Amino acid sequence: MVRRLMRAAALALGLAAASAQQSSESGKEFATSLTPGKAATDSQSSNMYVGTPGTSTMWIQPVLTNIDPDAVCNDGTPGMYYFSPGTGAGANLWLVYLEGGYWCYDEASCKERYTSGTTYMSSSNAEDSYTTDGIFTDAIAADNVWADANMVFIKYCSSDSWMGDAAASSATFGFAFRGARIIDATMQSLVSVNGLGKTPGAKLLFGGCSAGGRGVVTSLDKVKSDLASIAPSVEVKGLNDAGGWVDVQPAYPNLLSLQNQTAAIFKFSTPPVGATTGGLACLADFPDEPWKCVWPSYRLPFVTTPYVLNAAQFDSFLISYNTNHEASNAPGGTAYLEQYQTATLALFAKLPATVAIWSSTCFIHCVSSNADYFCFTVDGKTLNSVVNEFVFDATVTRTISSCSGWACTNACAGGPLSIWEPENLPPTATPYCTAFYDQIQASDANVNHQIATSEHSDAGGQSQSQQHLATSMLSQMGVTALHPTTTSNSTSR
């Protein structure tokens, strides 16, 4: 299991570094008036829209405080988003994506998150441009209908899974939690600045992965409702990638549960749950536990806007967190882990018929943000194909792996975040998928060397050095926040 984690983490780190370098270098060509290390200002806005339509590089836009003075990051700097205009067949398609990156839930975790790097709490060091992969990629334009779309990437800097609306105060440890306002202001800006809804018949896919996926849970209905007032011709659908948390308690009772974290952040970030009819209905069902209305498995049945859900039956973030990244070596063994599959399948049964589902029994998390979106299949279907059928053909597909038990994860070659081999590729696999697979293969030699130098465990367990290496890699990816020891009650990000 650790070998899989380290292989995927090493690959993701390499791809992230390459993407960051490309973004930084291309930004010099088009956004030369921006001051490095500073958030965009209104005076810089004349240079914000330059870019090449149909590419996966997006450009920083005028700050959101021009729309709403309260649309700010944790540290009070302006909320922001990146944009690339659509072209050709994609001129009236809109892909709006919420960045992921965990959260903070009390004074200690928020201050640690800020002092360890302000990436997810500030726009002060925002880059001029942003390039990403997965559903945004233009590397396989012929197979990606979204490659020519209007692309929008909303920077995560509120540490609240996009649900909060609280001003900075002593109750919030001096930080603002305005994720919900940042979304609202972005949608208004897309209409007034970028032309959303200007041409009738626009289709908008509102998505995100991990913390971004949880943001979709709490904000999708409001996005649709707000656009019905200011851009009524826009058709809105959602993509919730790995934001479907189920209610399973940690394997170690002394780990601070995600449920308790959610209740804590709900109290101080004051999410506007009652802003939609679905939110009000949820609050009516849980009057004594309102935090459950921002917890995915309780809130999702009340979301009325159609969406696609990617929820792995053995979600790698939930299991890694709740087992202190020990998986089947944690108390309860495989019986504990199989609770996640049972709870996930139970959630599916509660969802409206308008919800499309893509669910693997592999040990995975986000898919739309990397090549797995096009290359990994469940019952022969990629998440890309399920999303496209849903958006363009109004086909609600429920592609759910029927494999039963934790042993299913052992059948996933290459896992956990890039869990496919050539024999599992879809029939229409492109050179893009093959090249990505080759990168995985190339990373193995380095990862295997690191594992070999840290192998001090017996046949039935894993060493502390292996745990540290895997945790370090995943931490640098910014998508998980794991406890360093089984006695810890705080997280690192």
**Dist CA 31 CA 50 (whole Å):** 7
Average pLDDT in the 456-471 region? 36
Give ∠ CA 164-168-174 in degrees, rounded to 5: 120
- Provide the 8-state DSSP code for 343: H
3-class DSSP state of 409:
helix
* Backbone φ and ψ of 340, nearest 5°: -65, -40
In contact, 183 and 79? CB cutoff 8 Å: no
Residue 363: per-residue pLDDT: 87
443 pLDDT tier (thresholds 50, 70, 90): low
Q: How far is CA 308 from the centre of its chain?
A: 14
How confident is the model at residue 118, as a pLDDT?
72
Residue 218: which of 273, 169, 165, 176 has the closest Cα?
Answer: 273
pLDDT digits (tens, 9 = 90+) for 194-251: 999 999 999 999 999 999 999 999 999 999 999 999 999 999 999 999 999 999 999 9
Per-residue confidence (pLDDT) for residue 380, from 0 to 100: 81
Domain assignments of the chain as residue spans, ordered by start:
2-477
- Look at residue 438 in the predicted model and tell me its pLDDT: 66
From residue 440, how far is each of 13, 174, 372, 429 by CA, in Å?
12, 43, 12, 16
DSSP 176-208: -B-HHHHHHHHHHHHHHTS-TTSSTT-EEEEEE
- The b-or-e profile of 72-83 (16+ CB within 10 A means b, else e) is bbbbbbbbbbbb
With beta carbons less than 8 A apart as the criterion, state whether 108 and 490 touch. yes
Contact indicator for 218, 290 with CB cutoff of 8 Å: no
Token pair for 327: 């998986």
Say if CB 283 and CB 367 are below 8 A apart: no
- Is the per-residue pLDDT at 274 higher than 90? yes
Q: Which of 223, 256, 263 is nearest to 240 (CA)?
A: 223
- What value does the mean pLDDT take over residues 462-490? 36
Apex CA 274: angle with CA 268 and CA 275, to 5°? Answer: 110
Residue 5 confidence (pLDDT) above 60? no
Beta strands in 325-459 (DSSP E): 356-359, 377-378, 381-382, 398-400
SS (H, E, C) 110-158: HHHHHHCCHHHCCCCCCCCEEECCHHHCCCCCCCCHHHHCEEEEECCCC
**Mean residue pLDDT across the chain:** 79
Question: Quick one: CA torsion of 49, 68, 213, 355, rounded to 10 degrees?
Answer: -100
CA distance 349 to 344: 9
> Which of 309, 308, 311, 328 is CA-nearest to residue 320?
328
Q: Which of 117-131, 337-351, 450-464 has the highest mean pLDDT?
A: 337-351
Residue 57, both tokens: 């590089």
Are 318 and 340 contacting, i.e. CB atoms less than 8 angstroms apart?
yes
Q: What is the pLDDT of residue 441?
A: 58
CA separation for the pair 10, 242 (Å, rounded): 20
Query: 366 versus 457: which is more confidently predicted?
Result: 366
Q: For residue range 304-360, list pLDDT tens digits in order.
A: 999 999 999 999 999 999 999 899 999 999 999 999 999 999 999 999 999 999 999
Amino acid symbol at 127 = E
CA distances from 402 to 101, 297, 336, 378 (A): 30, 20, 19, 10
Higher model confidence: residue 155 or residue 8?
Answer: 155
The predicted structure's pLDDT at residue 431: 67
- Residues written for the chain: 493
Question: Could you give the CA distance from residue 199 to residue 231 in angstroms, rounded to a whole number?
Answer: 10
pLDDT single digits (tens) 150-205 = 999 999 999 999 999 999 999 999 999 999 999 999 999 999 999 999 999 999 99
Q: Is 445 exposed, middle or buried (0-12, 13-18, 19+ CB in 10 A)?
A: exposed
Do 22 and 131 contact (CB within 8 A), yes or no? yes
Arithmetic mean of pLDDT, 50-72: 81
pLDDT tens across 20-39, in order?
A: 332 322 222 222 222 222 33
How high is the pLDDT of residue 49? 38
pLDDT digits (tens, 9 = 90+) for 388-412: 999 999 999 999 999 999 988 877 7
Sign of CA dihedral 444, 431, 98, 22: positive
Share of the chain above pLDDT 70, in %: 72
CA distances from 299 to 10, 276, 296, 336, 345 (A): 34, 12, 5, 24, 16
